[in-house]
Amino acid sequence: MKSAPDLKIKLFADGADKATMLEMYRNPLIQGFTTNPTLMRKAGIADYAAFARDILHAIPDRPISFEVFADDFGEMERQARLIAAWGPNVNAKIPITNTTGEPCFDLVRKLTREGIKLNITAILTLEQVRSVASCLRGGAPAFVSVFAGRIADTGRDPVPIMSAALEEIADLPGVELIWASPRELLNVVQADAIGCHIITATSDILKKLSTLGKDLAQFSLETVQMFHNDARSSGFAL
């Protein structure tokens, strides 16, 4: 069993809380960041651009992805260009389709060939990976974000799908596969084992990295001690 420093996969932190992002930034194991409008809404962000510029001032030297939120492809393009201009470490995040299911392929092809770094997100099928890979060929460096956690939520094993996704982009220099939306620390180990380039996870999962390879007997004892101490602290009596 590997320890966290032995992992080959890049660890990205997913979130929109500034304090937590800066805590993750101080961890040398965290090599990049992702966020999205849903996470920003949960964090109470009111001014999208102001938040992004504030974070980029604090984190100027690791990749950060910010997502467009328009539904019209023309406006998506405008927003992507604006986001990309915020800094050299920024990837403009484009959803695989708009809300009516129209694919973003033409937009991806146009932007990547103009040198704009992208993060194609909300991908769940190999057909989508295959189509995006075709669009990214010959373009700028990019991330392909496959939501392995959501695949698992449907009862499907994401590992074979993620392995096949790696094969689809294997001959694309500068294009990296992200294992997105992991549900537990085991997913980090699974993603690392198949050679996935990146996994992006919430701080709750990343904070468990210290337990990788932990002795199970010791972990058992610590669990018993936790139950005992919590019962005493609560003043329980029978």
Nearest CA among 12, 55, 14, 56 for reference residue 32? 12
- Residue 155's region, left for phi above 0, alpha for psi from -120 to 50, else beta, is left
Check 2, 10, 42, 93 and give the catalytic one. Answer: 93
Nearest CA among 184, 159, 187, 193 for reference residue 6? 193
Structure tokens belonging to residue 101: 């299911």
Structure tokens belonging to residue 147: 């939501």
Distance CA 2, CA 8 (A): 10
What are the distances in angstroms from CA 14 to CA 121, 135, 152, 219? 13, 25, 18, 27
CA 48 to chain centre: 19
Based on the residue annotation, tell me whether 18 is a catalytic residue of this protein.
no
- Number of other residues whose CB lies within 10 A of the CB of residue 56: 17
- Number of other residues whose CB lies within 10 A of the CB of residue 203: 17
Distance CA 78, CA 98 (A): 15
- The answer to whether the CB of 145 falls within 8 A of the CB of 157 is no
Point out the residues that are catalytic: 93
